[in-house]
Amino acid sequence: MLLIECPYCGPRPELEFRYGGEAHVARAADPATVDDEHWTAFLFWRGNPKGLHFERWRHASGCGRFFNCARDTVSDVIVKTYKAGEPKPDAARLMTGTTP
């Protein structure tokens, strides 16, 4: 079982968590001004990278908080977890020395 580092509770078993989809997908400040193509992208288009993926997780059976996670989709290594609202970490710097 994976141990996932909750930014509030520390390392906890994977079963306490729920996956929450791609992170840093920002909703337009004024949706009425967004055209269909961009609204479609916001609603439905998601990255599917082989490598580092920024995603939301929720410590559902714990503190209940959503947070963000940078995970390598090849190795399943969780490179970093951080609180929602904190800036997206620099991918190149995160991956240094993490891929087996």
Give the footprint of another protein on this chain (CB under 8 A): 1, 8-9, 12-13, 15-16, 61-65
Interacting span for Zn ion (CB under 5 A) from 1-9, 26-34, 39-47, 90-98: 1-9
Please give the Cα distance from 28 to 8 (Å, whole number). 28
Give the count of beta carbons closer than 10 Å to the beta carbon of residue 48. 7
Kindly state the tokens that stand for 70.
């940078």
Using CB distances below 5 to 8 A depending on partner kind, what does residue 31 bind out of Zn ion, another protein, none? none
Give min distance, CB of 13 to another protein, in A: 4
**9 vs 41, which CB is nearer to another protein?**
9
Whole-number Å distance between alpha carbons of 54 and 45: 14
